[in-house]
Structure 1
Amino acid sequence: MASIGLLLRFARRYFWGHKSTQAIQLISWVSVLAIAVGTAALIIVLSVFNGFEDLVKSLYSSFYPTLRVIPARGPVFQVTPSQLQGIRQIAGVKAVSETVEAKASIRYNNQQIIAVVKGVDSAYTHVTGLKDKLVEGVFALGTPQVPGAVVGIGIASALGVDLQNPLYPLWVYVPNPHVATFLNPEQALRVGSLMPQGIFAIQEEFDDRYIITRIDAMRQLLLLPEDAVSALEINTGDRASLAEVGRQIQHILGPDVVVKTRYEQNETLYHVMQTEKWVVYAILSFILVIAAFNMIGALSMLVIDKQQDIAILRAMGATEKLIRRIFLSTGLWIAFTGAAIGVGLALLLCIGQQHYGWIKLGGHSFVIDAYPVSLKGQDFVLVVMTVAIIAALASYLPAHRAGSRQLDLKSLRS
């Protein structure tokens, strides 16, 4: 059985060595260039998708907790102090926050909008990063007598919220849950007021939808008992097993709740992002397939050029399998030469984009001004494996023809 070293020596000699015509060398280098471009394009595009995915995850992690417990049925469920204490004592749980939220009509200075008002407790800043996303004011939720509010920038813009003007509170209107008929409009709605204290900016999905206030103010407005919550939001350590923590929470609270991870809270978004990434990967892989046609041409011409070498190898006792492996190795040499150039080019461009932001995003409404890039080792492994598979398939036909040729050294010399 031929050693790898022997096959590599043949491959290197056939790629770099003298050929009877310059066309073979030219086509070989065109194949290398095409593979290099395809490899670099795949790595760069996958890295950009990784960058956008990491950006979206960081934005969503500012609002969504690691784990969220919601009722299996209905808008709220009840949790006892002993159950809360049991959840806090689970290994890996860093903080637990109770929240109550409901859709409401919001009125401010003759402007009106529909929003989700979310009441939170003092632990909320330990389970999300919302406090770090303020663009104006402070994260202050006021007192039970005068509850405050932190407003999404989209809502603040639509209502014209002025934090410096204490004369205009946010008026909150929610349906009265104890009224079955709406014959008396004054009894059909419950009204509360919130003093705006800060404005946050994360992403339009949150900025245009949410107002954050005190949980006791929401319970009073919705006429809920003190142990009622819309959700429990939980922060876990980086090394905590989410599956195990979720199982223990489910055991404490019973079957009437559903425990969701951050991925499950945004499953559709993450699924769409992954689908887009792999569709683009499949499309760009056709660049490598096109490069493979050049390889087939280059190797086929090389087989014709090296007929005398094949005949000599035959005379020395080389088997068809050995000759096939020699030309297969030559095709892989061409492919990996192109892949190495492509990987180097991709690293240069991606690292440059990370440090200098060469390619900018259009417009001025983005949280970043340049395309984000995130290099991941598994992408490099995937692309190199893709190159190897395509190169092996492209090299097989010329290699098979070389191995099956029955050449006579005397006839070639004559």
Structure 2
Amino acid sequence: MNFPFYIAKRYLFSKKSHNAINIISAISVCGVALATLALVCTLSVFNGFQNMVASFFTAFDPEIKITVAEGKTFDANDSRIQKIRSMKDVSVFTETLEENAMVQYKGRQAMAVIKGVQDNFEQLTQIDSILYGNGRFILHDSIVNYCVMGIELVSKLSSGVQFVDPLEVYAPIRNAKVNMGNPAASFNMQYLYSPGVVFVVKQQKYDGSYILTSLDFARKLFHYTTEASAIELKLKPNADVDKVKNEMRQILGSSFVVKDRYEQQADVFRIMEIEKLISYIFLTFILMIACFNVIGSLSMLIIDKKKDVETLRNLGADDKLIARIFLFEGRMISMIGAVIGIVLGLALCYIQQKYGIISLGETQGTFVVDAYPVSVRLSDVLLVFVTVLVVGFLSVWYPVRYLSKRLLLK
């Protein structure tokens, strides 16, 4: 066994001549353990929020979305787009068209995003999981076109989930000048009817402005023929998303942009990653402060073991070997604190995940979830473990070398 490690282990677990040293050593371990526990729990909570947000997006956003690099629309009959349609890994292929319009219901007005989709949109996303009402998801029949609105937009218009009177949709006539004498003549107006359902994504971007309707209605309203603003795709169950995405980029070239589900919401996830990183940095500083307790414990141990050091020197030990003994002592305190903190952190995350003991607020149903969501990732646990060891080892290296020279003078 390594001699300095053996002596350090004896010093750590044996009783000291002064009981205060044992107490300070225990406090040092607890300080490192608490900082480690805070790191594990905080990073896991951020992971939980990321997974929760991702679950909301998956009910509305497609698995892969293709848009044009410049401009708003492109010809859906483009030969490159048709190659994408015939790819073996593509399960559902649908054209969509999004444009802004003004909607009005019984005198109440609001700006909305009209999203025209094809009839296979139900197969593309899990739209049924976010629908509320007594009706069903339908875009059109042989007589009229229907609209499925976000719940917040329904509240703005005060139309109710199932309205009887038609929704008026106004869009400026494309490539036409505004007639100042009769401005109403510069707008195209169409009617949409209620199918008896609304969607609730629990994201203001969608719930407050989006209206789903048929693609033919959207093209008629905005004076398009075969144009689309996006191609939305669902892949087969065993398809490799990254591989298929790269193949599509090679086929389409630089004229189109191909994004997976997370890239479509890159801004949201980037903000959450930045918040997670800032929290990690602040908690690492707290860990560094906790490591000062280790330095105090080692300084008192060095003074307490002066006689042992004299004996070791008489046996031929040099200052370098003696310093290594106390370095191992500090590293063992950091290691034990890291292990205890990780174990307790994982236990607390499990309890929170299973029972939700820490709630977000007292009012039931005010938030999307009642308790803090938790998701433990192995990469984060390893990051925390390495961080604690590195910070703990570096924080005791210089102080031990300095103290061993000043306090253990021959």
TM-score (norm 2): 0.91
Q: Distance in 1 between matches of 2:408 and 2:204?
A: 71
Q: Distance in 2 between matches of 1:273 and 1:163?
A: 33
Displacement, 1:97? 1.7
Determine the structure 2 residue equivalent to 1:370: 371
Cα 1:92–1:311 change in 2 (3 A) is farther
Cα 1:177–1:214 change in 2 (3 A) is same
Q: Tell me which amino acid in the other structure corresponds to 1:211.
A: I
Q: Over residues 199-224 of structure 1, what are the superposed CA-to-partner deviations in whole Å (9 max), with x where a residue is unaligned?
A: 11112221001010111111111121
Determine the structure 2 residue equivalent to 1:36: 33
Q: Distance in 2 between matches of 1:62 and 1:333?
A: 49
Q: Distance in 2 between matches of 1:85 and 1:257?
A: 14
Determine the structure 2 residue equivalent to 1:159: 157
Q: Distance in 2 between matches of 1:396 and 1:150?
A: 65
Q: Distance in 1 between matches of 2:314 and 2:88?
A: 72
Determine the structure 1 residue equivalent to 2:116: 119
Q: Distance in 1 between matches of 2:318 and 2:87?
A: 66
**2:323 is aligned with 1:329:** no
**2:278 is aligned with 1:279:** yes
Q: Does the aligned pair in 1 maintain the 2:4–2:322 contact within 8 Å? A: no
5+ long unaligned stretches in structure 2: none
Q: Distance in 1 between matches of 2:48 and 2:34?
A: 21
Q: Distance in 1 between matches of 2:241 and 2:59?
A: 18
SS at match of 1:143: coil
SS at match of 1:147: coil
Aligned ranges 1:237-252 → 2 under 5 Å: 240-252=239-251
Deviates more, 1:39-48 or 1:86-95: 86-95
Determine the structure 2 residue equivalent to 1:14: 11
Displacement, 1:316? 2.9
Displacement, 1:146? 1.0
Deviates more, 1:123-132 or 1:327-336: 123-132
Q: Does the aligned pair in 1 maintain the 2:119–2:139 contact within 8 Å? A: no
Q: Distance in 1 between matches of 2:159 and 2:150?
A: 10
Determine the structure 2 residue equivalent to 1:143: 141
Cα 1:236–1:309 change in 2 (3 A) is farther
Q: Tell me which amino acid in the other structure corresponds to 2:212.
A: I
Displacement, 1:102? 0.8
Determine the structure 2 residue equivalent to 1:352: 351
Deviates more, 1:363-372 or 1:195-204: 363-372
- Identity over the aligned pairs, expressed in percent? 39
Q: Over residues 137-173 of structure 1, what are the superposed CA-to-partner deviations in whole Å (9 max), with x where a residue is unaligned?
A: 42221225311111100011111223444x3121111
Aligned ranges 1:122-201 → 2 under 5 Å: 122-136=119-133, 137-143=135-141, 145-165=143-163, 167-183=164-180, 184-197=182-195, 198-201=197-200
Determine the structure 2 residue equivalent to 1:26: 23
Cα 1:400–1:134 change in 2 (3 A) is same
Determine the structure 2 residue equivalent to 1:379: 380
5+ long unaligned stretches in structure 1: none
Q: Over residues 321-368 of structure 1, what are the superposed CA-to-partner deviations in whole Å (9 max), with x where a residue is unaligned?
A: 433322111111111222222122212211111111111112433221
Determine the structure 2 residue equivalent to 1:260: 259
Q: Distance in 1 between matches of 2:233 and 2:173?
A: 30
Displacement, 1:111? 1.5
Q: Does the aligned pair in 2 maintain the 1:147–1:193 contact within 8 Å? A: yes
Cα 1:398–1:376 change in 2 (3 A) is same
Q: Over residues 93-139 of structure 1, what are the superposed CA-to-partner deviations in whole Å (9 max), with x where a residue is unaligned?
A: 33222101111111112221111010011232333333311122422
Q: Over residues 368-388 of structure 1, what are the superposed CA-to-partner deviations in whole Å (9 max), with x where a residue is unaligned?
A: 111101111111111111111
Determine the structure 1 residue equivalent to 2:86: 89
Q: Distance in 1 between matches of 2:265 and 2:397?
A: 45
Q: Does the aligned pair in 2 maintain the 1:299–1:398 contact within 8 Å? A: no
Q: Tell me which amino acid in the other structure corresponds to 1:209.
A: S
Q: Tell me which amino acid in the other structure corresponds to 2:189.
A: V
Q: Over residues 13-38 of structure 1, what are the superposed CA-to-partner deviations in whole Å (9 max), with x where a residue is unaligned?
A: 11121212112111111111111111
Q: Distance in 2 between matches of 1:344 and 1:254?
A: 49
Q: Over residues 214-253 of structure 1, what are the superposed CA-to-partner deviations in whole Å (9 max), with x where a residue is unaligned?
A: 111111111211x210111122357645454334324444
Deviates more, 1:109-118 or 1:315-324: 315-324
Q: Does the aligned pair in 2 maintain the 1:179–1:187 contact within 8 Å? A: no
Aligned ranges 1:310-329 → 2 under 5 Å: 310-329=309-328
Deviates more, 1:345-354 or 1:134-143: 134-143
Displacement, 1:70? 1.3
Q: Distance in 2 between matches of 1:163 and 1:397?
A: 69
Cα 1:327–1:118 change in 2 (3 A) is same
Determine the structure 2 residue equivalent to 1:207: 207
Displacement, 1:64? 2.1
**2:396 is aligned with 1:395:** yes
Q: Does the aligned pair in 2 maintain the 1:103–1:117 contact within 8 Å? A: yes
Match of 1:109 among 93, 103, 106: 106
SS at match of 1:168: coil
**2:218 is aligned with 1:218:** yes
Q: Distance in 2 between matches of 1:276 and 1:215?
A: 39
Q: Over residues 178-217 of structure 1, what are the superposed CA-to-partner deviations in whole Å (9 max), with x where a residue is unaligned?
A: 5223243343111111112211111222100101011111
SS at match of 2:125: coil
Displacement, 1:404? 4.7
SS at match of 1:148: coil
Q: Over residues 18-59 of structure 1, what are the superposed CA-to-partner deviations in whole Å (9 max), with x where a residue is unaligned?
A: 212112111111111111111111111111111111111111
Displacement, 1:402? 6.7
Q: Distance in 2 between matches of 1:46 and 1:238?
A: 30
Cα 1:391–1:256 change in 2 (3 A) is closer
Determine the structure 2 residue equivalent to 1:63: 60
Displacement, 1:318? 3.1
